[in-house]
Amino acid sequence: MSKVFVIDSQKRPLDPIHSAQARQLLRNKKAAIFRHFPFTLILKESRIETPVSPLRLKIDPGAKTTGIALVNDITGEVVFAAELKHRGFAIRDALTSRRQLRRARRARKTRYRKPRFLNRTRSEGWLAPSLQSRVDNIKTWVDKLRRFAPITTISQELVRFDMQLMRNPDIQGEEYQQGTLQGFETREYLLEKWNRECVYCGIKDIPLQIEHIHPRAKGGSNSITNLTLSCEKCNTKKGIKDIKDFLKKDPSRLEKILKQVKIPLADAAAVNTTRFALLNALKSTGLPVETGSGGLTKFNRSQQNLEKTHWLDAAAVGESTPKLIIKGIKPLLITANGHGSRQSCRTDKFGFPSRYVPRFKFVNGFQTGDIVKAIVTKGKKIGQYIGRVAVRTSGSFNISDTFGLVQGISHKYCKSIHKKDGYEYGK
């Protein structure tokens, strides 16, 4: 299992230790729990200066989930792993909804006003909030882990696999459109976009062929918007038929394909847009940053026969990857939830005020989102409860634990375990 982080009495990171050793320190009262997520101990007595083993923080950025791993380059041991789930698409949808409500209100309440463009300037390097949140999430966790572990170097997956560039680093211009690279990016794009299955019959895990939706024999182009994937059997059966004729007996599948053609690969676009912003954010830590390609990550993982998960991809990032020791590692599952809404008034679906929002966050030292432990000693709800708390001004809280929602727990029985930090944790 993952090692336990340890800091000394002056809050300097030490070598992570085995969980059995951590239990012994707690049992002998030589250490106390400093933080639950990630689990960290703080020593009660200062120790003689001892050297610590440097660790490498490895990151595999993703549009929805980012893999994180802490690796000892000397031993190859993975001491910590996590998978960080972003909320970029949730932010995008929330902003879209808010914009629609705002425009609808304006149309109802005010005269028509011509749109004014270019009336706001954006700073250099500006990213949309849904994209910036991904960079900020990763940077937040880099800073957190640096406080608890002796991290000296960082590795980041930056670009996709590029065989042509590897063979000839000076390649440019027309050369870059031909040779071993030709068709590679197109095929990878189509595999991602069409879920690695035949669009006509849905079969998976077989060799797939690139198929022209509108056949070239009838004027179809090689544009990415006219390409899809099919198995050999369906490709041969379709031949030079137009897709509307080929699928006239299956209109639902036809509609799905024509709709999917127009949808861009949002995940890949999000990663491509944020990769250099993330690189600059990592360099701002002052630590040396190694970058690697997606192809190198896949090669390292395949050479060591590791399954494809986000945290194992992270552990395999970069040329520095040693022979990895991953026995017993369970990644910490982190979900970014944000810090709630700053709206002073909630609205209904039409954008009109519907309910009041309190102006304060804390009640008796607790705020909604804190993880608490409540030991109830009397009344109808006798027992022990651990979970997220929802505060009430009356001092009677609700706790969401693994068994559901428990209502009406007095703040007097609650003890804070982990303060709200905008993230949810699981294993």
The 10s digit of each residue's pLDDT in 88-134 is 889 989 899 888 888 887 777 777 777 777 667 788 888 999 999 99
Query: Using 50, 70 and 90 to split pLDDT, how confident is the model at 175?
Result: very low
Distances (CA, A) of 414 to 355, 361, 379, 393: 28, 17, 15, 15
Give the span between the Cα atoms of 9 and 23, in whole angstroms.
Answer: 18
Q: Any long-range contacts for 322-328 (C-beta under 8 Å, 24+ apart)?
A: 322/71, 322/73, 322/74, 322/75, 322/76, 323/76, 324/71, 324/76, 324/77, 324/78, 325/75, 325/76, 325/77, 325/78, 326/78, 328/1
Q: Which CATH number fits domain 358-420: 2.40.10, 3.40.630, 2.40.128, 2.30.30?
A: 2.30.30
Q: 181: pLDDT confidence band, cut at 50, 70 and 90?
A: very low
Categorize the per-residue pLDDT at 19 as very low, low, confident or very high, splitting at 50, 70 and 90.
Answer: very high
Tell me 218's DSSP state.
Answer: G
Domain residue spans of the chain: 5-43, 180-266, 358-420
CATH fit for domain 180-266, picks 3.40.720, 1.10.30, 3.10.450, 2.60.40: 1.10.30
pLDDT digits (tens, 9 = 90+) for 333-360: 999 998 887 777 888 877 788 887 777 8
Over 60: is that where the pLDDT of 162 sits? no
HEC string of 129-195 equals: HHHHHHHHHHHHHHHHHHHHCCEEEEEEEEECCCHHHHHCCCCCHHHHHCHHHCCHHHHHHHHHHCC
Chain centroid, CA 381 distance in Å: 38
**Residue pair 87/336 in contact by the 8 Å Cβ criterion:** yes
Q: What is the pLDDT of residues 52-90, one digit of tens each?
A: 999 999 999 988 899 999 999 999 999 999 999 999 889
41 near 22, Cβ under 8 Å?
Answer: yes
- pTM: predicted TM-score of the whole model, two decimal places: 0.77
- The answer to whether 334 and 141 have CB atoms below 8 angstroms apart is yes
Confidence band for 220, pLDDT divided at 50, 70 and 90: confident
Q: Exposed (0-12), middle (13-18) or buried (19+): which is 182, by Cβ within 10 Å?
A: exposed
H or E, element range at 99? helix 88-109
